[in-house]
Chains A and B, each alone.
Chain A
């Protein structure tokens, strides 16, 4: 099992006070947390820093939650997104046609549930990522390139997958 501090969480919500306190709580919980206040800011940070789980508010000025989630996934395909919505129900959020989020959660946030969901999202990401990494590593070995080439290719993969 991973330590909480291994789980890197990206928070995105224009409600700054909310994020301030949510970030504090999650930090105290032991997660590594980065708070951003818009989709634009989140995308910029995600272009240079790897995250495991993003918690995105659905309704934001500028790039909204659905779009932010879509673009984040382009930069970091294994990133799992939890989408928050102040709508009355999850179904109404789903009606907007976006089902590729790891989970939709209602606002006000049920904190305990959020923590559990972040851990589950992290597990999911790790499973998907490891499976694909293993597949590609095997493929490199099978490809019959020399030891040097293999080492180089694996290093390249490590970088892609954000594995140190």
Chain B
């Protein structure tokens, strides 16, 4: 009797313990569910062979797959380097502590997603391996930011180096220019030279001067690019500025039979910005437009200059009906030293400098192009 009593007591204890544990189990499960549903991290669980048996909502979001799409697949197949990941899994099984490292995964649509991955080995009560848990933090954005910073550093370094070089080249260039100038004077004043010889020499000296100017243009552009200074802002009419910019190019426009169409709204479009450097950009863009028309080789060309006010910004559109920009070149036209022009015609500095200037003025520059039909550059800058 007594033993029955004691057995009943024990049973009661066990059942109490059981229900307590059931509650605990439910709570733990709910806890895990809430983590798996809500964490931005990718959390997965695989069996001992590496086949996925759980994949968190965060994982679905960052890799673009639904759980149904990855269920039963090897986790390693979602990475860029499956054998390397397999080895990592094996490492984690041999170790007591989690393995932590960077791994690149493939998004459903192909792009790379960078993760910091922690792999934790799970064992049963007998100490046997039953699977692996992975907690993966998406660091793609941080990685990109880092790359951008490196890129900016590199550009600044290029700027410093090239401006040093440009400065050093300017000095001997000045000497060459003086000597050729002197040679020119001596030849012009020389008596007793045959007329033909004199003309030959004069032409030669002129060529040296032209080439010196060419070098000088390059060094000045480089120095202009490397230097950043506060823009000198004043109020002015952007339409007037455009007209002025064109007068710079009038002779070339006539020569190439290019029609300029001004498409301005009524009255002035007044903005507060730096007219000098803005003019530099506009001249540069129109020069490119002229070049694109020349390249196409048609008898007549057309460049349209359009200005509009768009909210707080003024928009300047420069459209040509020239040769257009090939798909391949489109990605590179803002890169330093990238040029499609033959040697001596382009430095690969024009557009990156323009972009730099426009950015400094708080604006942006975009373009649209169709091969064989033409290109439109759009400069958008704050009105004040």
Query: How far is it, in angstroms, between the C-alpha of A65 and the C-alpha of B212 when the chains are bound?
Result: 25
Contacts of A89 in B (CB 8 A): 220, 223-224, 227
Q: Is the CB of A108 within 8 A of B226?
A: no
Of A21-29, A31-39, A128-136, the stretch lying at the interface with chain B is: A21-29
B174 touches A108 (CB 8 A): yes
Given the complex, which residues of A lie within 8 Å of B219, measured CB to CB? 88
Question: Known: A87-B223, A88-B223, A95-B229. Contact between A17 and B170, CB under 8 A?
Answer: no
The contact of B174 among A25, A91, A109, by CB within 8 Å, is: A109
Whether A108 contacts B173 by the Cβ 8 Å rule is yes
Interface of B is mostly: helix
Residue pair B174, A107 in contact (C-beta under 8 Å): yes
Q: Could you say which residues of chain B place their CB within 8 Å of the CB of A4? A: none
Chain A residues numbered 79-121 whose CB sits less than 8 Å from any CB in chain B: 86-89, 91-92, 95, 106-109, 111
How many angstroms between the C-alpha atoms of A41 and B226 in the bound complex?
34
Residue of B nearest to A14 (CB): B171
A88 touches B166 (CB 8 A): yes
With an 8 A cutoff between CB atoms, is B190 at the interface? no
- The reply to whether the CB of B181 lies closer than 8 angstroms to some CB of chain A is yes
Interface size bracket, A side:
20 to 34
Task: Point out the residues of chain A lying under 8 angstroms from B220, CB to CB.
Answer: 88-89, 106
B173 to chain A, nearest CB (A): 5
**A44 in contact (CB, < 8 A):** no
Q: Are A15 and B229 in contact (CB under 8 A)?
A: no
Closest chain B residue to A107 by CB distance? B174
| Mask of B70-96 contacts with A, CB within 8 angstroms, 1/0 | 000000000000000000000000000
A residues in contact with B182, CB < 8 Å:
21, 24-25
- For B181, what are the chain A residues with a Cβ–Cβ distance below 8 Å? 21, 25, 111
Which single member of A21, A88, A95, A111 contacts B175 (CB below 8 Å)?
A: A21
Q: Inside 8 A of B185's CB, which chain A residues have their CB?
A: 25, 28
From residue A107, how far is it (CB to closest CB) to chain B in Å?
Answer: 4
B179 within 8 A of A: yes
Q: How far is the CA of A130 from the CA of B280 in the complex (A)?
A: 42
B: number of interface residues (CB 8 Å): 25
Question: In the complex, are the beta carbons of B229 and A88 less than 8 A apart?
Answer: no
* B167 proximity list for chain A (CB < 8 A): 86-88
Q: How far is the CA of A61 from the CA of B227 in the complex (A)?
A: 23
A25 to B227: give the CA distance in the assembly, Å: 33
Provide the residues of chain A in CB contact with B223, threshold 8 Å. 87-89, 92
Residue B376 CB within 8 A of the other chain:
no
**In the complex, which residues of chain B have a beta carbon less than 8 angstroms from the beta carbon of A91?**
229
Q: Mark B206-239, 1 if CB is under 8 A from A, else 0.
A: 0000001000100110111011010000000000
Q: How far is the CA of A91 from the CA of B230 in the complex (A)?
A: 11
Contacts of B166 in A (CB 8 A): 88
Q: Of residues 153 to 205 in B, which have CB atoms within 8 Å of A's CB atoms?
A: 163, 166-167, 170-171, 173-179, 181-182, 185
The answer on a CB contact under 8 Å between B170 and A108 is: yes
A18 lies within 8 A of chain B by Cβ: yes
* A86 partner, pick from B170, B178, B227, beta carbons under 8 A: B170
Q: A21-B182, A88-B166, A107-B170 are in contact. Are A15 and B227 (CB under 8 A)?
A: no
| Interchain CB contact under 8 A, B177 and A108 | yes
Contact residues in B for A87 (Cβ distance below 8 Å)? 167, 223
Cα distance A22–B174 in the bound complex, in angstroms? 10
B25 to chain A minimum Cβ distance, whole angstroms, is: 73
> How far apart are the CA atoms of A78 and B177 in the complex, in Å?
30
> By the criterion CB–CB under 8 Å, are B179 and A21 in contact?
yes
Q: Across the interface, do A17 and B175 meet the contact criterion of CB distance under 8 Å?
A: yes
Minimum Cβ distance to chain A for residue B92 (Å): 57
Which of A21, A22, A108 is B216 in contact with, Cβ under 8 Å? A108
Chain B hits for A95, CB < 8 A? 229
Beyond known contacts A21-B178, A107-B170: 8 more, CB 8 A cutoff? A24-B182, A86-B174, A88-B226, A89-B223, A92-B227, A92-B229, A108-B173, A108-B178
- Can you identify 26 A-B contacts, CB atoms within 8 angstroms? A15-B171, A15-B174, A18-B171, A18-B175, A21-B178, A21-B179, A24-B182, A25-B181, A28-B185, A86-B170, A87-B167, A88-B163, A88-B167, A88-B219, A88-B220, A88-B223, A88-B224, A89-B220, A89-B224, A91-B229, A107-B170, A107-B171, A108-B170, A108-B173, A109-B177, A111-B177
Name A's B-contacting residues (CB within 8 A): 15, 17-18, 21-22, 24-25, 28, 86-89, 91-92, 95, 106-109, 111
Closest CB pairs A-B (n = 9): A88-B223, A86-B170, A21-B178, A108-B174, A108-B177, A107-B174, A18-B175, A21-B182, A108-B173
